[in-house]
């Protein structure tokens, strides 16, 4: 077609394609990081993943001096310490845009270990030469240096490790290897000990030194030792002898044994040191107690004899300088312990001597306890002593004796405030001794008490119970109890008192028959009555928990009917000893329940006698008795109820 006016007005249209917009994609890491590694660890891989696009994933490191990464596999190699960023990039494709993800990799220095050639501890002596103990190890390139924790004791060369001893003491030597680019610092240490030098001192006289009371002061000084410390003195028993702390001069005060000590103080170089000698201040005399058995004798001396030689023999003319040649000659140095003497026993008599330095005592034999032989006495324990009161030794007695061992007795009064008597009762109750009834030519119902055993107060001149003797009394349920006895006729009444003044008759006629010379004890929260006599001897056994109602436990126990026997509770058992069943007895019976009795010994070592006293004291059974003719009296002891020792005492004198 043609156009007019010479122009072309036609229009041309285009069909070109529109541009494509790519979609975004996300890739992730197996470990999103940061990842902590230590120099020297093996290669590792931390892969990226994302399966939308088809582009390849490649890896790169921000700092290849720290870590490199394989661009295809993502395997990372550690090169140095520091921090690098590892990036994973996924290429774009025709549908998805490129994507990347990264993680932080921190690489720290590795640890290292060093050690000493000798791990220690090392002990040295003051004055020893310098020594070296070198530390080594660790892959790092840092230098090793040395230090001492206590440079007043020992110093160490910082570079060589050579140690120089300064004074005794202890220090820690430490080696430190410096850190480098790849390894941390490391250290090791060992202990060095340098004990102080030992020194010695000695007394001019090493002892033992013997003196007597009244001896003049004396000096025995100690010397020696290389140190500069002063010497001071002390006495282990200043009541025996005291010593001047600076001069060593000794003052004699009393009999006995003491240890004089000298102590030299230590200094920087030297340790303290002590030495001593024994000082024995010999007495003019010393008392002993002896328990004589079938095969041996157990002997105890006063403390004043400590340190003396104790010699014994069956030969009175023994040459003490050669005691071992004498018949049964023996020697022990006395301590505070019991001596087991096998020279003297129940079948063999002998003599005792004491000796110190070149001084010998006079010979001594065994003597009986020092109160007179008597019957009808009574014994009780009070304030850790035994107290023996009254009795009949041809005349009625009102003397009082005390003993802390049962052998050696002291007369506290020859004529107590109460009248002479026998067959009374003696009790310990409410911190006092109580004496109840008894008789001389007439019977009594008075009550006396004492807080010290010597001074007596009449509590009741005429108690509610009838005047009597051969009764029994005991303490039970916070009361004193008086049971039966003889007031002209045998009795079976029971009385009690909480104060010794006011007495209550619990029953005028108990279930047991009237009697005298019986025994009563407390066992398993009951009072027990055993044997005795009226017109006939008895071996029945009764018990009561209230003193009113009595139960017959046995009408005829295994032991023979008897009176004037003795019963005590010892080691959880009843023990019955002796008495009279028509003749004096020395048999021994025991029972665990008061009903069933076992004969422990039909003929004990104990002599048979009338009216003995049996008492538990100092974990022993003690039996105190007199012969029927009052010619002798004896004290016996047993730790088991079967084996008995006779007690003796005496005093050994120096000329």
DSSP 232-285: EEEES-TTTEEE-TTT-EEEE-SSEEEEEEEEEPP-SSB--EEEEEEEEE--SE
The pLDDT value recorded for residue 11 is 43
pTM: 0.67
Q: Is the pLDDT of residue 366 over 60?
A: yes
Who wins on pLDDT, 243 or 53?
Answer: 243
List, for residues 153-206, the tens digit of each pLDDT value: 999 999 999 999 999 999 999 999 999 999 999 999 999 999 999 999 999 999
Q: Is the pLDDT of residue 147 over 50?
A: yes
* DSSP string computed for 425-447: EEEEETTEEEEEEEESSSEEEEE
pLDDT exceeding 90 applies to what percent of the chain? 89
The pLDDT value recorded for residue 373 is 86
Say if strands 35-38 and 99-108 run parallel, antiparallel, or are unpaired: parallel
Say if strands 202-203 and 222-223 run parallel, antiparallel, or are unpaired: antiparallel
Distance of alpha carbon 316 from alpha carbon 379, whole angstroms: 36
Peptide bond into 121 cis (omega under 30): yes
pLDDT exceeding 70 applies to what percent of the chain? 96
Q: Is the pLDDT of residue 601 over 60?
A: yes
Q: Is the pLDDT of residue 247 over 50?
A: yes
Distance of alpha carbon 296 from alpha carbon 352, whole angstroms: 14
Distance of alpha carbon 615 from alpha carbon 228, whole angstroms: 62
List, for residues 391-411, the tens digit of each pLDDT value: 999 999 999 999 999 988 999
Tokens 């070149």 belong to residue: 358
**What mean pLDDT do residues 409-419 have?**
96
The pLDDT value recorded for residue 50 is 84
All domains of the chain in start order, with CATH: 23-108 (2.60.40.60), 111-194 (2.60.40.60), 202-281 (2.60.40.60), 286-366 (2.60.40), 378-654 (2.120.10.80)
The pLDDT value recorded for residue 589 is 98
Q: Is the pLDDT of residue 2 over 50?
A: no
List, for residues 105-116, the tens digit of each pLDDT value: 999 999 999 999
The two tokens of residue 37 are 């590694």
**What mean pLDDT do residues 618-647 have?**
86
Q: Is the pLDDT of residue 75 over 50?
A: yes
Considering the chain, what is the average pLDDT of its residues?
93
Q: Distance between alpha carbon 573 and the CA centroid of its chain, in Å?
A: 29
Residue 254's closest CA among 306, 299, 203, 206? Answer: 306
**What mean pLDDT do residues 529-536 have?**
97
Cβ distance 554 to 541 under 8 Å?
yes
**What mean pLDDT do residues 507-525 have?**
98
**What mean pLDDT do residues 479-485 have?**
98
């Amino acid at each position: 077609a043609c156009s007019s006016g010479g122009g072309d007005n036609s229009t041309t249209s285009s069909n070109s394609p529109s541009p494509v917009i790519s979609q975004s994609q996300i890739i992730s890491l197996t470990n999103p990081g940061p990842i902590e590694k230590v120099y020297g660890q093996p290669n590792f891989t931390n892969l990226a993943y994302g399966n939308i696009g088809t582009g390849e994933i490649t890896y790169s490191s921000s700092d290849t001096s720290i870590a490199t990464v394989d661009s295809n596999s993502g395997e990372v190699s550690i090169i140095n310490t520091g921090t690098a960023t590892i990036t994973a990039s996924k290429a774009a494709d025709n549908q998805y845009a490129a994507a990347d993800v990264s993680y932080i990799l921190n690489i720290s220095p590795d640890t290292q270990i060093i050690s000493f050639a000798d791990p220690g501890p090392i002990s040295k002596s003051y004055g020893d030469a310098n020594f070296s103990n070198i530390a080594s190890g660790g892959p790092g390139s840092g230098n090793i240096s040395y230090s001492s924790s206590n440079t007043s004791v020992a110093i160490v060369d910082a570079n060589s490790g050579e140690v120089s001893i300064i004074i005794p003491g202890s220090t820690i030597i430490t080696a430190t290897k410096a850190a480098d680019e790849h390894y941390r610092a490391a250290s090791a240490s060992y202990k060095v000990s340098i004990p102080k030098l030992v020194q010695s001192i000695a007394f001019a006289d090493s002892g033992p030194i013997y003196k007597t009371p009244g001896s003049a002061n004396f000096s025995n000084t100690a010397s020696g030792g290389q140190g500069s410390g002063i010497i001071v003195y002390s006495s282990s028993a200043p009541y025996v002898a005291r010593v001047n702390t600076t001069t060593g001069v000794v003052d004699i005060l009393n009999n006995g044994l003491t240890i004089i000590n000298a102590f030299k103080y230590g200094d920087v170089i030297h340790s303290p040191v002590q030495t001593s000698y024994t000082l024995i201040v010999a007495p003019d005399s010393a008392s002993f107690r002896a328990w004589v058995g079938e095969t041996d004798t157990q002997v105890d001396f006063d403390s004043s004899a400590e340190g003396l030689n104790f010699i014994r023999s069956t030969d009175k003319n023994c040459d003490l300088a050669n005691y071992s040649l004498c018949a049964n000659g023996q020697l022990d140095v006395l301590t505070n312990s019991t001596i087991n003497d096998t020279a003297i026993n129940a079948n063999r008599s002998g003599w005792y001597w004491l000796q110190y330095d070149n001084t010998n005592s006079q010979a001594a034999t065994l003597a009986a306890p020092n109160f007179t032989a008597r019957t009808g006495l009574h014994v009780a324990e009070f304030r850790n002593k035994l107290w023996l009161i009254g009795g009949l030794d041809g005349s009625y007695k009102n003397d009082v004796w005390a003993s802390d061992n049962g052998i050696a007795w002291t007369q506290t009064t020859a004529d107590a405030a109460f009248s002479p008597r026998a067959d009374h009762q003696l009790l310990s109750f409410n911190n006092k001794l109580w004496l109840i009834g008894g008789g001389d030519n007439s019977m009594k119902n008075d009550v006396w008490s004492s807080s010290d055993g010597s001074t007596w107060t009449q509590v009741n001149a005429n108690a509610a119970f009838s005047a009597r003797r051969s009764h029994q009394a005991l303490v039970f349920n916070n009361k004193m109890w008086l049971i039966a006895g003889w007031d002209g006729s045998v009795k079976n009444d029971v009385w009690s008192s909480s104060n010794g003044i006011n007495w209550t008759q619990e029953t005028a006629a108990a279930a047991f028959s009237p009697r005298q010379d019986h025994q009563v004890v407390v066992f398993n929260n009951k009072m027990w009555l055993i044997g005795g006599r009226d017109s006939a001897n008895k071996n029945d056994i009764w018990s009561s928990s209230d003193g009113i109602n009595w139960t017959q436990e046995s009408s005829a126990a295994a032991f023979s009917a008897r009176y004037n026997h003795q019963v005590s509770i010892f080691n959880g058992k009843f023990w019955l000893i002796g008495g009279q069943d028509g003749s004096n007895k020395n048999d021994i019976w025991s029972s665990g329940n008061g009903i069933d009795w076992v004969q422990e010994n039909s003929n004990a070592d104990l002599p048979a006698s009338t009216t003995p006293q049996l008492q538990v004291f100092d974990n022993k059974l003690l039996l105190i008795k007199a012969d029927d003719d009052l010619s002798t009296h004896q004290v016996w002891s047993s730790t088991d109820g079967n084996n008995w020792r006779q007690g003796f005492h005496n005093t050994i004198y120096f000329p």
